[in-house]
Amino acid sequence: MIRTHRRRRLAIKPIAASPLGRWIQPGTWIALYLALIALPLLVLLLGDRPGGGGFGWDFALALGYAGLAMMAVQFALTARFKRATAPFGIDIIYYFHRYLAVIAFMLLLLHAALLVAIRPEAVGSIDPREAPAYMTLGWLAMLAFVSIMVTSLLRKQLRIDYDVWRRMHTVLAVLGIAFALLHILGSASYLLTPFKRGLWITLALSAIALVVHVRVIRPWWLQRHPWRVTEIRQERGRSWTVAVEPQHAAAFHYEPGQFSWLSLRASPLAMREHPFSFSSSPTRPGRLEFTIKALGDFTATIGDLQPGMAAWVDGPYGAFGVDRHPDATGHVFIAGGVGIAPIVSMLRALADRGDTRPLWLFYGNRRWERIVFREELDVMAGHLDLHVVHVLGEPPDGWTGERGFITREVLARHLPAGRHGFHYFICGPKPMIQLAERSLRSLDVPATRMHSEIFDLA
C-alpha cells in the first residue's frame, strides 16, 4: 500500500569525511569531559580550607563533590551536541551516560554512608523537623538520585512507559541537582570564598540550562522547521516506510546509517519523539525515509499516518556507517529484521556511488515472506559486488539456504579468506548482535572493525 504527497526539493548532502579530525576530536572531547569534572574539585583545594575534620571526613566530602560534579556533567552528555557526539555516536554517549551515572551515584552514596559512619553527631537527625534545612535538602537530593537509579535501571521490569520515564527522569535530575546545590551552599564546607561558591553555582545552573536547551529551546527551533509526510509505503514484515520532505530551507546533511529522532502527530515540545535510522540514502536528495516496524504503542500507529501530516526531524546522529571507514577494502553487513534499515541506506549509497568493493550481507529473518527490501536487495546484488545470504528461522519447504541464526559457522561458510581490510556492521535485536560479535571475534575480526547499532537507548 502506498500513499504519496507532493514532493519538494532540498539539499541533503553527505557529510565530508575527515579522518584526521575524527582522531583528534575524540581525545579533545574526553579531555574536556575530565577537565569539567576535575577542575571544580581542584579549585576547592586552593586557598583557605576547613581544618580539623580528619582524613575520613575530608575524603567523604571529596566523594560528595566528585559525585555531584559527575552528575552535573551528565546533563552535557545527553544535550545532543552534534560536534561532541559525532566522533563517538550519540548511542555510545547514552551508554556512557548510563554507566557514569552509576559511578557518580555510588560516589554520592559512599559520601553519605561514610559521613554517617564517621561522624553521626555532625550529620544529625534525618527528621526534617530537627535537621537544618541544608541537610534535609541533601537527603532529598539523595532521594531524587535513588529514584533516578531505580527507575532507569529497572524501567522495563517496573513496566514504566518510556515517555513517562523520560519526563520523570528530567524532573528528578533537575530536582536532584538543585537540592544538591542548595545542600553544599548551606553546609558551606569547602565553599568558603565567593569564587568557589560562584563556580559550583555556575556548574549546577549550567546543568539545568542544558535541560532547558534540550527540552525547550531545541524543540522550539525544530517546531519552526517542520517537515511533511509525503509517502507511507507498506513493506514486508509488519513494517512501513515513511517519507518526509522539508517545509523549510535549512540544509540537512547526513551519512548513510545515521538516525534521527522523529516526532509525528505531537510537537517536539511534547517529548514524544522516537529514534529511527534513515533507510534513505543521502545520494538521493529531496526526502528522508524511515523504515519502521510495528512493535509497540507508537510504531503500531505508523500505518495510519496520512500524507500531508506534519513531522519534525531532530538529527542526524550516530556513528554507524561506511562513510566513517573510507579505507575499508570491503564490508560485511549483518542484519536482523528491521535492523536492515540503516544497512539498506548504506547499500543504496554504495550502489549510487558505483562502489566496486566486495560486500556481504547476512540477513536473518524468521520467514521468507517477511524479508523487508527482499526484491530491492536482489536488484542491488546486480549492480554491486554484493553477496546476500538469507538466514531463515522458519524456512519454507524445500529451502536449501541457511537456517537458524547467524552463527560463526554460517559466517565462516560464506566469508572470503582475504578480508583483512573489511569492516563489519551489525544491526538487529540485542541477542543477534551479541551472537554476531562473539562469532566475529572467534573468526579473528578485531573489535576496531566491528560496528554495532542497538535499537535501544535505555
Ligand X SMILES: Cc1cc2nc3c(=O)[nH]c(=O)nc-3n(C[C@H](O)[C@H](O)[C@H](O)COP(=O)(O)OP(=O)(O)OC[C@H]3O[C@@H](n4cnc5c(N)ncnc54)[C@H](O)[C@@H]3O)c2cc1C
Q: Which triple of cell numbers denotes residue 398?
A: 524445500
- Cα–Cα distances (Å) from 49 to 38, 75, 189, in that order, read 17, 29, 8
- Kindly give, in sequence order, each residue whose CB lies less than 8 Å from that of residue 24, ignoring residues fewer than 6 positions away: none
Longest Cα separation, the chain: 82
Check if the beta carbon of residue 88 is closer than 8 Å to that of residue 55: no
Taking CA 62 as the corner, what is the angle to CA 58 and CA 65, rounded to the nearest 5 degrees?
140
Closer to ligand X by CB, 233 or 274: give it: 274
Nearest by Cα to 441 from 407, 400, 403, 405: 407
Smallest distance, ligand X to C-beta of residue 256, A: 13
Smallest distance, ligand X to C-beta of residue 341, A: 4
- CA 319 to chain centroid, in Å, comes to 10
Closer to ligand X by CB, 136 or 280: give it: 280
Closer to ligand X by CB, 111 or 348: give it: 348
Residue nearest to ligand X (CB): 296
Per residue in 174-212, is it b (16+ CB within 10 Å) or e — as a string?
bbbbbbbbbbbebbebbbeeeebeebbeebbeebbebbe
Closer to ligand X by CB, 210 or 341: give it: 341
- Kindly give, in sequence order, each residue whose CB lies less than 8 Å from that of residue 6, ignoring residues fewer than 6 positions away: 230
Q: Which triple of cell numbers denotes residue 88?
A: 563517538
Smallest distance, ligand X to C-beta of residue 221, A: 19
Residues near ligand X (CB under 6 A) are 91, 156, 162, 259, 273-277, 290-293, 295-299, 338, 341, 455-457
Smallest distance, ligand X to C-beta of residue 328, A: 22
- Cis geometry, peptide bond prior to residue 316 (ω within 30 degrees of 0): yes
Closer to ligand X by CB, 131 or 149: give it: 149
- Rounded CA-CA distance 146/246 in Å is 42
Smallest distance, ligand X to C-beta of residue 373, A: 12
Closer to ligand X by CB, 130 or 456: give it: 456
Closer to ligand X by CB, 118 or 310: give it: 310
Closer to ligand X by CB, 94 or 200: give it: 94
Would you list the DSSP string of 114-150? HHHHH-HHHH--S-TTTS-HHHHHHHHHHHHHHHHHH
Smallest distance, ligand X to C-beta of residue 62, A: 36
Smallest distance, ligand X to C-beta of residue 372, A: 10
Residues in the chain: 458
Smallest distance, ligand X to C-beta of residue 274, A: 4
